[in-house]
Structure 1
Amino acid sequence: MLDVHVKPRPADLLLPLVAGFFQVVGTLAAQRWQIHAPDLLRTPLDPLGWALLLTGPLALVVRRHPVFGMLVAVDSTALFMALGYSYGPVFLSPVIAFHHAVAAGHRRVAWPVWAAAYGFVVVYTVWFAPVPTRDWFHLLTVAALMGLVLVVAEFSRTRRERRAERARTEEEESRRQASEERLTMAQELHDVLAHNISLIHVQASTALHLIDEHPEQARTALTTIKQASKDVLTEMRSVLSVLRDDAPRSPTAGLGLLDDLVGRTGLPVEREVTGEVRPLPAEVDRAGYRIAQEALTNVTRHAPGASVRLVLDYGPRTLTVRVTDSGGEGGEVHTEGLGGGNGLPGMRERASALGGTLTATRHGRGFRVEARLPIPETPE
């Protein structure tokens, strides 16, 4: 059911005035001949008749309570008829009130009231009118008109519900997109911070290990730390800038930055690129870069000093990113305390979000991470 509380609009406040005007003018015009017509013999308006004539339009003011307004309009009109006042557009108010009630979703009440109103018309016309009649064509015409009112009201209700449902769907879609953007931002920040802070941690450990006996090598490690801290600030600004209204809607990391990434790790990395190298969709390009970044980060965490083989295979429909390390050397500095983190689950989520797969398994003394990311077909 739709919300019964309908916020009034200026046009809604004018409607009772317009309905009241037409009912008064129309009834006065009809009264001129109906009170003298031998087949009608209606009663002229008196104070009670005027009150009943205006009650229906006044009931239209209570848009916040459409059922109450409909009951008042229908009952006042029925009493107006039962007291023998002239026929005219007095039926306008109950028609409008019934439409409002159905459009607001109160069908279970409105339909029986409308059926009862038609039953009253039949009983009154056949047995209690000043000049009773059994003109069934007239009764069928009234039934058809009241049915038409019902159909129009139901059509209006259906349109209103569809608009409300469309608005709800659009709002939910907007919230879903905003949530996905926040998750993407969180994942981007995790990858940026995890990689660079892990690199800083490893290089700081190396510098502390070498500073007494090999100060020149320690200097190199400290230089790497300086560059990594600068890079993490730059990447964080890039990722966070997407929150601005005038900024790009997606982070700028991609496979084109892979050389810089490899250079920052300080690991001996052998690169191999196969297939037709070409521009990739932004989401595939970014996911490939972040997966390679996270895999290299894991090497610096858990296998310092290992050699790495990084393979990019540009297939016709799939980009394959494969990172294989040889395992840490016994004499290298270990990096306890970094924990497992969210690296592998995060990589799997990135691959899965694109419809791809990611495997992470032991490979000899080392470890291998392999992601297969589908490349969407580009329209001709």
Structure 2
Amino acid sequence: MALPFRVRGGGMSPRAADAVVALVVALVVTVWTVLSGLDVDEPVARTVVAWVLVAVGCGALAFRRRAPVAVAVVTLLACMAYYPVSAQDGPLMICFALALYTTAAEGRFVAAVALASVTLLAVGLGELRQESGRRQIDDTSLAMLSGWLISLVAVGRAQRTRTAYLHEVEQRALAAEREQEARGRQSATEERLRIARELHDVLGHSISLINVQSGAVLHRLSKKPEPEVALAAAEEALEAVKATSKDALRELRATLGVLRQADETAPTAPTSGLALLGELVERARSTGLDIRTELTGTPVPLAPPVDLAAYRIVQESLTNVTRHAGARTATIALDWRADELRLRIEDDGEGAPEELPLGSGIRGMAERARAFGGELTAHSTAGGFRVDARLPLGTPASTITTSEGEPR
């Protein structure tokens, strides 16, 4: 079959290039034939037939890559008819040589070998039928012709191999470029998701607390209490809002600072961690939620990213409790084991309707756990809602299972 590809090169199309080659060969054959036939006298009819065969052989080369085998056959037949007819003995064999080379270069190796064999066999039989002393090609010339035909086929096959190699190299380069672009897009997507998750956790938690604290004081003020009571309630709420917003601004500045430092290495120490769990619990308690903390095992220092992930999971869980659960109490349990940290956040609220889709908060927590080889499940219980997370102290590969049907 013909080559299914072309290695990128100059601006000339393959058809135009073939036409130019055909014109150049025709010019060479014509000039050579005219010069070699200056002292030759032959009938006009034979001269006309010879020039027609020259035109056919040279003209066929314009189609050598579109129909390589057919062009090789046409040029061979033209040569077989030309040399017995014409007394000028021009170089029309150039046309067949080029066509034979093209046949091998276009991947028609079997056809090229067959045509070369037929040519050699035809020349050999023709010489054997000549009378003794009238042979035009001796044994040495016949051997040279054999080597010439073999060389043409071999060079064509080598060119085919080289072209295929260049095509493969080009395709590999394109594949590598596409893979690099895909990795770049994936990295950008992962970074956007990471930033979105951080902003969601920071702002979502703080704004939820502010909303609950503001709603509570507005509810108390709607009952028209004494001015002193109303003032005390307002001051208490404003202090809580101030503290919550201050923490939110601190974490937001830290997150945005990382984005501004595009040319610097990202900080290895997180802005939050389990060391700040007490402050997180106190802010949640300011909304009226009764929170208990349970600690088992011996705490050990965590890698900064794992420490931040554990903090964010607790933070987002408390945000969900204050926003959605309608709970009165919540429990935060930390179980330190030899190779992992177990987290459990449970409330006595209303749970989650199973017909609603999984919310972005649960997905974000699940992604955090999965990033470190852990897992996270979130589901309604008989008495409320529960989040269980496992964070390995190392970074082994693991899968994550997250309960579906509970938007939190």
What is the CA–CA distance in structure 1 between the aligned matches of 2:75 and 2:394, rounded to whole Å? 70
After superposition, give the CA deviation of every residue in 1:40-90 in whole Å (9 maximum; x if it has no partner): x99996112112113222222225514143333222222212435443421
Do structure 1's residue 18 and structure 2's residue 24 form an aligned pair?
Answer: yes
- How far off is 1:230 after superposition? 6.7
- How far off is 1:327 after superposition? 4.0
Do structure 1's residue 176 and structure 2's residue 176 form an aligned pair?
Answer: no
User: What aligned pairs does 1:300-315 form with structure 2 within 5 A after superposition?
Assistant: 300-302=315-317
Question: Structure 2 counterpart of 1:143, which letter?
Answer: S
What is the CA–CA distance in structure 2 between the aligned matches of 1:325 and 1:5, rounded to whole Å? 60
- Which of 369, 381, 393 in structure 2 is aligned with 1:370? 393
Partner of 1:157: 160
Question: Does the 8 A contact of 2:202 with 2:248 survive in 1?
Answer: yes
What is the CA–CA distance in structure 1 between the aligned matches of 2:394 and 2:100, rounded to whole Å? 63
SS in 2 for 1:89: coil
Shifted more, 226-235 versus 42-51: the winner is 226-235
Do structure 1's residue 135 and structure 2's residue 146 form an aligned pair?
Answer: no
Do structure 1's residue 221 and structure 2's residue 244 form an aligned pair?
Answer: yes
- How far off is 1:160 after superposition? 0.7
Question: Does the 8 A contact of 1:70 with 1:98 survive in 2?
Answer: yes
1:103–1:207 distance in 2 versus 1, CA, 3 Å? same
Partner of 2:313: 298
RMSD: 4.6
- How far off is 1:165 after superposition? 0.7
Which TM-score applies when normalising by structure 1?
Answer: 0.66
- Which of 236, 258, 281 in structure 1 is aligned with 2:269? 258
**How many residues end up aligned between the 2 structures?**
322
1:324–1:53 distance in 2 versus 1, CA, 3 Å? same
Which TM-score applies when normalising by structure 2?
Answer: 0.62
User: What aligned pairs does 1:275-354 form with structure 2 within 5 A after superposition?
Assistant: 289=305, 293-302=308-317, 324=341, 327-328=344-345, 337-338=359-360, 340-341=362-363, 344=366
What is the CA–CA distance in structure 1 between the aligned matches of 2:45 and 2:145, rounded to whole Å? 24
1:60–1:302 distance in 2 versus 1, CA, 3 Å? same
Partner of 1:89: 91
- How far off is 1:29 after superposition? 3.7
- How far off is 1:268 after superposition? 5.0
Partner of 1:8: 14
What is the CA–CA distance in structure 1 between the aligned matches of 2:103 and 2:176, rounded to whole Å? 30
Question: Does the 8 A contact of 1:268 with 1:308 survive in 2?
Answer: no
Partner of 2:193: 190
Shifted more, 293-302 versus 128-137: the winner is 128-137
What is the CA–CA distance in structure 2 between the aligned matches of 1:329 and 1:218, rounded to whole Å? 25
SS in 2 for 1:341: helix
1:227–1:126 distance in 2 versus 1, CA, 3 Å? farther
What is the CA–CA distance in structure 1 between the aligned matches of 2:126 and 2:43, rounded to whole Å? 14
Partner of 2:127: 125
Partner of 2:117: 115
What is the CA–CA distance in structure 1 between the aligned matches of 2:125 and 2:86, rounded to whole Å? 14
- How far off is 1:145 after superposition? 0.8
Partner of 1:51: 52
SS in 1 for 2:391: strand
Question: Does the 8 A contact of 2:32 with 2:91 survive in 1?
Answer: yes
Partner of 2:148: 145
What is the CA–CA distance in structure 2 between the aligned matches of 1:15 and 1:170, rounded to whole Å? 31
1:64–1:229 distance in 2 versus 1, CA, 3 Å? farther
What is the CA–CA distance in structure 1 between the aligned matches of 2:278 and 2:247, rounded to whole Å? 15
Question: Does the 8 A contact of 1:189 with 1:236 survive in 2?
Answer: no
- How far off is 1:21 after superposition? 2.2
1:303–1:109 distance in 2 versus 1, CA, 3 Å? farther
- How far off is 1:149 after superposition? 1.0
Question: Does the 8 A contact of 1:267 with 1:307 survive in 2?
Answer: no
What is the CA–CA distance in structure 1 between the aligned matches of 2:65 and 2:48, rounded to whole Å? 29
Question: Does the 8 A contact of 2:254 with 2:271 survive in 1?
Answer: no
Question: Does the 8 A contact of 1:359 with 1:369 survive in 2?
Answer: yes
Question: Does the 8 A contact of 2:25 with 2:95 survive in 1?
Answer: yes
Shifted more, 42-51 versus 92-101: the winner is 42-51
Question: Structure 1 counterpart of 2:180, which letter?
Answer: Q
Partner of 2:226: none
**Larger Rg belongs to:** 2
Residue ranges of structure 2 left out of the alignment (5+ in a row): 8-12, 218-235, 280-298, 320-330, 353-357, 378-387, 397-408
Do structure 1's residue 200 and structure 2's residue 223 form an aligned pair?
Answer: no
Question: Does the 8 A contact of 1:360 with 1:367 survive in 2?
Answer: yes
